[in-house]
Amino acid sequence: MNITSSLFNRSRLSRRPALAALALMAVLPLATQAQVTVEASADAYLRSYGTNATTNYGNGTYLQVKGGGDIAYARKGIIRFDFTGSNGAGAVDNSSITLTVLAGAGNSPSDTVWNFAIYGLDGTAAGQDWVEGTGETGVSGPTPPNAVTWNNAPGNNTLTTYSTDSATTTLVGTFTVTGKGTNGDTVTVSGDALDNFLSTVVGSQYVSFLIVRTDTSGGVDASETVVHQFASRENTTYDAPKLSYTNIPEASSTALMAGLLILGTLAFRRYKCQ
């Protein structure tokens, strides 16, 4: 019997558990902590007053947002993202929502700073599966059945131009646009508020947000009638709304990686001792 060959083969076999464990440890963090970025899977804007309040605006190339003192001219945006990429995560970190600005319609002094807020639709709220619809400004025809409108949008406060339903939505961030905005500029919301909100809906199929302009006096003066606009997912020139986030592994995943580390270390020590 060749003793040297036997020892060599035994050492090769003893190395395999260590190599397998080390390989798994290398792959698991990448699988659970990679940055996820998705584009909106549905978006529309909501328009108040009269027949506008029951009309769907889900198929245009822009999302219009307007606040101010007159409810008759209000508009809000609503966007939804596929959130199945968070399945298996314990929480979410490093999240952000990015919108692409389009030049607004109407008037605004070039140095006026307009304030906006984004609210997340709570996971327990009804209407998570709202219908984007095929309505479009300037296109005649009936609103598709169940398509989202000012009157039926989940989380909307139909009585104000600048807020949402506080019982079913959570503020996740704010941003500003100067003047009417410039085509192609981007605005981003990020931070603890968004991370914390997304962590409460981890594993959900969808996550939705509403966009409002929070200035309560803008639009009353003739020089400030601007309707701000952001690219929708139907826009072929500018980027659609984007959601990015990093999954934080559940405690069980962390424990598994720790266990693999221990096994790998023990196997490696055994190999060195042979």
Q: Reduced to 3 states, what is the DSSP secondary structure of residue 146?
A: coil
Residues 95, 192 contacting (CB under 8 angstroms): no
Residues 147, 129 contacting (CB under 8 angstroms): no
Per-residue pLDDT at 253: 47
CB burial of residue 147 (10 Å; 0-12, 13-18, 19+) = buried
Percent helix, percent strand, percent coil in the chain, to nearest 5: 25, 35, 40
Domain boundaries, the chain: 15-31+253-273, 35-252
CATH 2.60.120 assigned to domain 35-252? The reply is: yes
Residue that the structure tokens 């598709």 belong to? 144
Per-residue pLDDT at 254: 46
Per-residue pLDDT at 221: 61
What is the rounded (10 degree) CA torsion for 138, 140, 144, 148?
30
pLDDT by residue for the chain (274 residues), tens digit each?
Answer: 555 555 445 555 455 555 555 555 544 554 447 899 999 999 999 999 999 999 999 999 999 999 987 889 999 999 999 999 999 899 999 999 999 999 999 999 999 999 999 999 999 999 999 999 998 765 656 677 789 999 999 999 999 999 999 999 999 999 999 999 999 999 999 999 999 999 999 999 999 999 999 987 655 565 678 999 999 999 999 999 999 999 999 764 444 454 555 555 555 555 555 5
